[in-house]
Structures are given as structure tokens and as C-alpha cells.
Amino acid sequence: MRNKLKIGLFGFGCVGSGLYEVLNQSGLFNAHIEKIVVKDPAKDRSLPKNQFYYDPDVILEDLEINVVVELIDDAEAAYEIVTKAFKKGKHVVSANKKLIAEHLIELLTLKDEYGVSFLYEASSCASIPVIRNLEEYYNNDSLTGIEGICNGTTNYILTRLNNELRSFEEILKDAQDVGFAETDPTLDIDGFDSKFKLQILILHTFGLITTPQEVLNIGIRHIKEKDILFAKEKGYRIRLVSFARRIEEKIVAYVAPQFVRDSSFAYDINFEFNGVSIEALFSDKQVFIGKGAGSFPTASAVLSDISALQFDYKYEYKKLDECKATLANEAFLRAFVSSSDPESLKQIEFLEVDEEFVSQDYAYKVGTISLSQINHDLYRTHPELFISFFADSEICLHDPTKENKKAVNV
């Protein structure tokens, strides 16, 4: 028996208007958008003005509406809408990664308290059906890692930097002109958006709840043309990767640029495309690739959530109860650090240096570093540094250089 879904839609921008179209074309006859709430009464829209409301309570206090679809671009207003919708016994579908990542525990507790469903497939990689797969399909296979290119804006910029060898500032400006980057690009280029998505992926991969403060995000703002040249000469491309891997009972997680080779799933994911690689004990690596943004692709994931609500679908979060792992507060890995000011390379302590180069206006080092010395403050206060890790190098919980020395002494 399918439930009849009476939808209150918040937001009629890129995704909201896409959902309206996609739902009309989908043949999902059990679901109907009853009311739409937006913000700006003066805006011209593709539907007649009398179809829009501006007071959230028009939806939230409507007893007939049983599903709220929240597709607005304001995480704080979304928090008010979603929590009130739960309290009114309404199921919620959202695409808002910032809202979810910042309020994970509270939202999960509240939706349980009021016995409603909260689905958010579009929040992680837009059209790529990763969350429901992590919840359902990989339920019995032990997941060991997840890596994603989860942000179309930075991938677009990095692809063009690789192809055109122009400055970051020039390509960012182009990306803004063609609508692939926001006027304020901070959330994208400093890796916050990728981090919010990673937090959601970590929850559904390992059952671990994290806060934005706990997960490192460093972005691509400080990349230089010489860094791209270095990568090209060595057969790498640079990608901004959302990374989480379980090692013993620790989860190493970060968002950072990575040098990837053609053996990596990320190498051929170009422009605004997203990709996710899931690693499990038995099935090994599997890769999903698809559109990580855009009106119809994102709306397709929202539609899929709405469709699942016909059958009372809820995420079960089984891994939450079983999770024994905690976030690692230390890890060792191979890094590349470059600077236009050679002196400032001293900010990063290398345990072992494999390669280095110094000239008057550019220097780099490649070698093993401890991850704990990289933090948000260092990234913010040293705009001259570009830091990137290597996708093909091992990541360890213990200092591998000490282990090597022990082996030599023996």
C-alpha cells in the first residue's frame, strides 16, 4: 500500500523549481506539491504569483501536509523549518548538507522522538545515490573506506587549471562568470562544503557522528601554477578529495587536495562531475560517478527520497549502534607542501624528506608528515602555503619513519 504524500515545498530556486518539473514529469501520482513557500515576494517566477506563500507556518501548521521538502539556501532558516516540521509530525526531505552536518545529533534525536522520517540523498553528491546504498546495500559488508570528489565547483576549477595552466584567481573568476562558483566561494574552495558532505558519508559508512570542528578541511585557495606543473610532470592530477578510512578502530578523515594518478578513480572525474569510491572488505572498490550539482540531477535524488516515503522508508542507522571506531587524532602520510616564500616552508615539520626544491620565489618539499600539525588556523594564516597529500601513498596511525629506523637497527 502506497502512502499519499501531500508536500509542502520550501524553496523554488535551482533545486526547488527542478523538483517541481521532475515531479510533474515523473508519473509519481501519489505525491503532490500542495504549497510552496519562498522568501522574496518581489521575485519573478516561472509559476503564477498566487501559487507562492512567504510564511513558513502556511506549510508547517497545515495538518493535511505530511511531507516537508526543504530546498532553501539558508541553513539557519532551514534548521527552524526542519525542527518544527519534525515536531508537527511531518516527514522531511532535505538537500542541505550544512544543516545536517552542523546539527547531526539533534536532528537524529528529534526525528526519532517524533517518529518521522528524515531523508537527504541529494545532500552528499547530488544525483549520485550513495547514502541509500551505504545504508542498504553495504549493510553486511564491512566498509573500510570512502573517498569522494564531492564538490563540483572545485573540481571544475582544478580541471581547468590542469588544462589551461592559468592562475587560480583567473579560473575562479571564469567559474563565477559561468555560474559554477558563488560570488563568495569560501564554502567551496576552502573545502567546507566537501567536509559537510564527508561528515554525512562518514555517518552512513561507519556509523560515526562527527562535528565540523573535528574534521580537517583544507582547500585549493593557495594553489599555484607551479604546483600544477609539478603534478603534470610527475603524471598526477590534483583533486580536492573528501577522505575517510578505517584503520584498526580509528577513522582517519580529512578534506584536502590530493595528487592522484590515472589508477585512481578521481583522475578522470573532470569539471563539475562528482565521484565516490567505496571500499569494502569483500566487494573491494566500487565507484559511482555522476552530476554533483544542477537543477534536474539534484532534483532526481530528492524525487527518489519522496518516492521512498510512499513506502514508509526510513534510514535505520544500524551502524550507529555497532560503531566502535573513533576519529583518529593522529596519522602519518606523504605530503607536498609548496610556498612562494621558501622561508615559510618551515611551518611544516617533515619527518622524512624525499624531494625538495628551492628558488627565490618558489620552494617545495615532498615527504612524510604528521597530519595533526595541519589545522584550520595554519591553513587560514598561511596563504602562501599549498598543501596536498598523495592518493597512492600509505596512511599510518604510527610514525612510519620510526618503524623504518627500528627495522634498520635490528
Ligand X SMILES: NC(=O)c1ccc[n+]([C@@H]2O[C@H](COP(=O)([O-])OP(=O)(O)OC[C@H]3O[C@@H](n4cnc5c(N)ncnc54)[C@H](OP(=O)(O)O)[C@@H]3O)[C@@H](O)[C@H]2O)c1
Asked if 39 is part of the footprint of ligand X (rule: CB under 6 A), the reply reads: yes
Binding to ligand X in span 75-104, by CB under 6 A? 77, 95-96
> Minimum CB separation from ligand X for residue 17, in Å?
8
d(CA 203, CA 325) in angstroms, rounded, equals 11
- Residue 47 sits at the vertex; the CA angle it makes with 46 and 48, to the nearest 5 degrees, is 130
x/- mask, ligand X, residues 288-327, rule CB under 6 A, reads -----xx---x-----------------------------
Stretch that binds ligand X, among 66-74, 174-182, 360-368, 375-383 (CB under 6 A): 66-74
Asked if 247 is part of the footprint of ligand X (rule: CB under 6 A), the reply reads: no
Q: For residues 100 and 200, is the Cβ–Cβ distance under 8 A?
A: yes
Stretch that binds ligand X, among 73-81, 211-219, 320-328, 335-343 (CB under 6 A): 73-81
Q: Which of 126, 158, 201, 220 binds ligand X (CB under 6 A)?
A: 126
Question: Which is nearer to ligand X, 11 or 148 (by Cβ)?
Answer: 11
Closest-CA residue to 134 (of 273, 272, 288): 288
Q: Which of 122, 218, 255, 333 binds ligand X (CB under 6 A)?
A: 122
Q: For residues 191 and 198, is the Cβ–Cβ distance under 8 A?
A: no
Asked if 367 is part of the footprint of ligand X (rule: CB under 6 A), the reply reads: no
197 is catalytic: yes
Among candidate residues 90, 197, 226, 365, the one labeled active-site is: 197
Q: How far is CA 302 from CA 24, 87, 111, 375, 377, in A?
A: 13, 22, 18, 34, 36
Asked if 328 is part of the footprint of ligand X (rule: CB under 6 A), the reply reads: no
Question: Which is nearer to ligand X, 39 or 314 (by Cβ)?
Answer: 39
Asked if 149 is part of the footprint of ligand X (rule: CB under 6 A), the reply reads: no
Closest-CA residue to 190 (of 210, 169, 167, 217): 217
Asked if 15 is part of the footprint of ligand X (rule: CB under 6 A), the reply reads: yes
Q: Which of 5, 9, 38, 345 binds ligand X (CB under 6 A)?
A: 38
> Minimum CB separation from ligand X for residue 328, in Å?
28
Asked if 351 is part of the footprint of ligand X (rule: CB under 6 A), the reply reads: no
> Minimum CB separation from ligand X for residue 342, in Å?
40
Q: Nearest residue to ligand X, using CB? A: 13
Question: Which is nearer to ligand X, 117 or 274 (by Cβ)?
Answer: 274
Stretch that binds ligand X, among 13-21, 312-320, 362-370, 387-395 (CB under 6 A): 13-21
The DSSP H or E segment spanning 262 is none
Asked if 58 is part of the footprint of ligand X (rule: CB under 6 A), the reply reads: no
> Minimum CB separation from ligand X for residue 6, in Å?
18
> Minimum CB separation from ligand X for residue 34, in Å?
16
Asked if 177 is part of the footprint of ligand X (rule: CB under 6 A), the reply reads: no
Q: How far is CA 200 from CA 88, 323, 381, in A?
A: 25, 15, 28
Asked if 33 is part of the footprint of ligand X (rule: CB under 6 A), the reply reads: no
Asked if 71 is part of the footprint of ligand X (rule: CB under 6 A), the reply reads: yes
Asked if 16 is part of the footprint of ligand X (rule: CB under 6 A), the reply reads: yes
Q: For residues 235 and 250, is the Cβ–Cβ distance under 8 A?
A: no
Q: For residues 127 and 174, is the Cβ–Cβ distance under 8 A?
A: no
Question: Which is it for the CA torsion 54, 59, 61, 64, positive or negative?
Answer: positive
Burial class (CB in 10 A: 0-12, 13-18, 19+), 205: buried
Query: Residue type for 333, please?
Result: L
Query: Residue type for 266, please?
Result: A
Q: Which residue has the cell 534548521?
A: 79
Question: Which is nearer to ligand X, 11 or 400 (by Cβ)?
Answer: 11
The answer for residues whose C-beta is within 8 angstroms of residue 342's C-beta and 6 or more apart is: 358, 359, 360, 362, 363
Strands 250-260 and 326-327: parallel
The answer for residues whose C-beta is within 8 angstroms of residue 150's C-beta and 6 or more apart is: 124, 125, 193, 194, 197, 198, 201, 242, 274, 276, 292
Question: Which is nearer to ligand X, 40 or 64 (by Cβ)?
Answer: 40
Site residues, ligand X (CB under 6 A): 10-16, 37-40, 43, 71-74, 77, 95-96, 122, 126, 293-294, 298
Catalytic residue numbers read 197
